[in-house]
Amino acid sequence: MSDTILRVQDIHKSFDGAGVLRGVSLEIREGEVVVIVGPSGCGKSTLLRCINGLETIDSGEIYLRDEKISGRTKDLHLVRQKIGMVFQSYDLFPHMKVMDNLLLGPTKALGRPKQDVEKDALEMLERVGLKEKAYALPRTLSGGQKQRVALVRAMLMRPEILLLDEITAALDPEMVSEVLNVVIDLARGGITMAIVTHEMRFAEAVADRVLFLEDGVILEEGKPEEFFHTPQTERARRFLQSFTYVSKRDQSEIQPKNNFGG
Ligand code: ADP
Ligand code: MG
């Protein structure tokens, strides 16, 4: 009945006795884009990895729609199909053409007919400006192009929610905006997302809500215009000040466009 897609309830996670997530709760509604920012090592990746079951949690609960997904082992692959994730490093199979990389999940895991998926894949590749690379090998693509393919691959699984973990962090600066523009397109098209990023201008442009994670707890939460301009805590103020230079660059590079059907 609710339009809540994801509910994380008081989760805790330790590594070797060190509390990395120390009681994190959050909810993401359908179509909402939540950006998670915070200093390196504060637990952002761990949080995303716990959400899609790559890490087990010590306590707390995680729900997708109204279904509890934490603490499950048997059918974890079914849960993961509904939660798309893209990481910093593109992990396309190098010996397989872009199209074969894209066909793999939807045909094998979802059992969709190849022709249907191929048609969808070509359409999406065109939207991200890569139709001409459909039958190329990954090594002929730039880093930015590979990340756009990775986004298409995740979307072809038709996930309930997409988790993005610093997907531009390994890219040369000139490729960052071409990838972030695709994410902005997805956001405008109504895709539900949780995004970890250090690109603050992008974060402000794309977020419906911002969470500031610090030392395993959500220290601040707010609308982007509030968080980025009038942060409530001294810690968030200091964190944001360290990005002043970067944000100027981003502002000139990112040109929101809307060709993802929204
Ligand atoms: P962030 O993504 O915010 O930079 P992470 O979630 O990657 O932070 O890491 C948070 C903390 O947890 C760090 O201190 C990191 O060293 C530790 N950590 C993450 N994964 C593991 C792991 N598999 N084993 C041990 N420690 C880990
Ligand atoms: Mg990380």
CB of 15 shorter than 6 A to ligand 1: yes
CB of 42 shorter than 6 A to ligand 1: yes
In testing the pocket of ligand 1, which one of 12, 16, 37, 45 has its CB within 8 Å of the most ligand atoms? Answer: 45
116-158 per-position pLDDT tens digit:
999 999 999 999 999 999 999 999 999 999 999 999 999 999 9
| Nearest ligand 1 atom to alpha carbon 49 | 6
pTM score = 0.92
The tokens for 153 are 């691959």
Higher pLDDT, 251 or 71: 71
Q: Which position has the token pair 């929610």?
A: 161
In testing the pocket of ligand 1, which one of 11, 13, 16, 20 has its CB within 8 Å of the most ligand atoms? Answer: 20
pLDDT of 221 higher than 90: yes
pLDDT of 90 higher than 80: no
Given pLDDT bands bounded at 50, 70 and 90, which one contains residue 220? very high
Q: What is the pLDDT of residue 181?
A: 96
Given pLDDT bands bounded at 50, 70 and 90, which one contains residue 260? very low
- Give all strands of the β-sheet with 59-64 in edge-to-edge order: 18-29, 4-15, 59-64, 67-68
| Nearest ligand 1 atom to alpha carbon 165 | 2
Q: Indicate the burial class of 81 (C-beta count within 10 angstroms; 0-12, 13-18, 19 or more).
A: middle
| Nearest ligand 1 atom to alpha carbon 40 | 4
CB of 20 shorter than 6 A to ligand 1: yes
Q: What is the pLDDT of residue 262?
A: 34
* Mean of all residue pLDDT scores within the chain: 92
Q: What is the pLDDT of residue 79?
A: 84
176-185 per-position pLDDT tens digit:
999 999 999 9
CB of 45 shorter than 6 A to ligand 1: yes
212-235 mean pLDDT: 96
Q: What is the pLDDT of residue 55?
A: 94
- Cα of 19 to ligand 1 centre, how many Å? 10
CB of 138 shorter than 6 A to ligand 1: no
- Give all strands of the β-sheet with 193-196 in edge-to-edge order: 83-86, 161-165, 193-196, 33-37, 209-214, 217-222
Q: What is the pLDDT of residue 252?
A: 52
